[in-house]
Amino acid sequence: MQVRISSDPTSPLIIEAQQISIASLFEPPEVRPAVPAPLSAWGHRSRSDLPENLGGIAGHTVRDRFSVPGIELERSVWTDCAESLVAVRYRVVNRRSETVALDRIRPLVAKGGEGLRLGESPAANWQVLCQKRFKNNVPAAVRLGAFDRDYGHATRGLSELGKELSAYDGITGLEADPFLLICPEADSAPRLLAGFLEWDRHLAHAGINTDASRSELAEFSADCAFNGCQLPPGGERTTQWFVLLTGQDEHEMIARYADWVGSFHHVPPPPEPAPGVWCSWQYYGPSFTENDLHENIAAARQKSLPFDVMLIDECWDMDWGNWVGNEQ
């Protein structure tokens, strides 16, 4: 991936690879009391370019330091030696004499169709895999321009009763944590995976939003939430690394990303491949019945679905905590 890094905060960070182009805007951190200065007021103070190993992968990092009176921001852009991976991280330092509240940092913000391009494919035809980490946010694959149940599940998740939380009309954005994968309609077109390398500092998500008609891209971003974290004078906070990788095979890309996260956190690979699990809760919640079980077993056999374990999650017992089979 080729990266063009400007020291001018009014110029975007350009990332290009395999017909993919990202133009990320410089966005100051959200702090209270607010910084009312325009982008042009953020003066560039210094730049360094040093070798750095990130999660076991050799590369180099360009660090640019910007500031306005009272607030300092450092942007780090890492690329691997093979130029196939990119990672971005921000650090904010309070140089004021009083404590400030840090609400949010967005290390990547791309606006409109020129902010993110994937070949010639329009955003409405992009297939997006959203990986979710919250309990009732099921992983979802959706087409951005489709008005269907898949989109509703991806944006609203499920309630504790396995039902959609609310109508999804008017919702034009997807959130993914820890990663999302964007696939254009053509099989030969490059794919883009975007996600976070570490999960030990704050909540974060990758977001992709369209216009109201869901035909055009509105914004692609990395959102790091600090929720009013107090920074005393001299205090600082650093976002997690937000990483980008491209490829043709989405399964290979997800495996590569997972290996990178494991290496970064020094987690050894499992001694054997993890089993694939089909879980009843992700669709049925507590309404799963024995008839549903037989129907899904038959469908799995007919379609040769590649999983190893069929998990009946809840719904078979008399009551929560009373582990006796019910009439279903």
Identify whether the C-beta of residue 298 lies closer than 8 Å to the C-beta of residue 292.
Answer: no
On whether the CB atoms of residues 163 and 218 are closer than 8 A, the answer is no
Percent of the chain with pLDDT over 70: 95
What value does the mean pLDDT of the chain take? Answer: 90
Distances (CA, A) of 221 to 62, 139, 195, 268: 21, 19, 10, 30
Mean pLDDT check: name the lowest of 44-48, 78-82, 268-272: 268-272
pLDDT for residue 282 is more than 90: no
How large is the average pLDDT for residues 86-100? Answer: 97
78-92: average pLDDT: 95
Residue 160 pLDDT > 60 = no
pLDDT per residue over 240-262, tens digit each? 999 999 999 999 999 999 999 99
pLDDT at residue 81 greater than cutoff 80: yes
Q: What's the pLDDT tens digit per position in 128-151?
A: 999 987 666 678 889 999 878 778
Give me the pLDDT at residue 167, please: 56
**Other CB atoms within 10 Å distance of the CB of residue 294:** 10
Helix, strand or coil, per DSSP, at residue 106 = strand
106 CB burial (10 A radius; 0-12, 13-18, 19+):
buried
Q: Give me the pLDDT at residue 186, please.
A: 79
Calculate Rg over the CA atoms of the chain: 22
- 323 pLDDT tier (thresholds 50, 70, 90): confident
pLDDT digits (tens, 9 = 90+) for 94-108: 999 999 999 999 999
Q: Give me the mean pLDDT over the 320-326 stretch.
A: 83
The token pair that represents 81 in the structure block: 């030696």
Tens of pLDDT, residue by residue over 15-68, are 999 889 999 999 999 999 998 889 999 999 999 999 999 999 999 999 999 999
Residue 271: pLDDT over 90: no
Per-residue pLDDT for 161 more than 70? no
Query: What backbone phi and psi angles, to 5 degrees, belong to 110?
Result: -115, 125
Range of weakest confidence among 74-78, 106-110, 158-162, 174-178? 158-162
Which stretch of 97-101, 103-107, 185-189, 264-268 has the lowest confidence by average pLDDT?
A: 185-189
- In this prediction the pTM is 0.86
CB 116 within 8 A of CB 244: no
Asked whether residue 237 carries a pLDDT value surpassing 60, the answer given is yes
> What percent of the chain stands above pLDDT 90?
66
Above 90 in pLDDT, residue 200?
no
pLDDT at 166 over 70: no
Q: What is the Cα–Cα distance from 55 to 142, expressed in whole angstroms?
A: 30
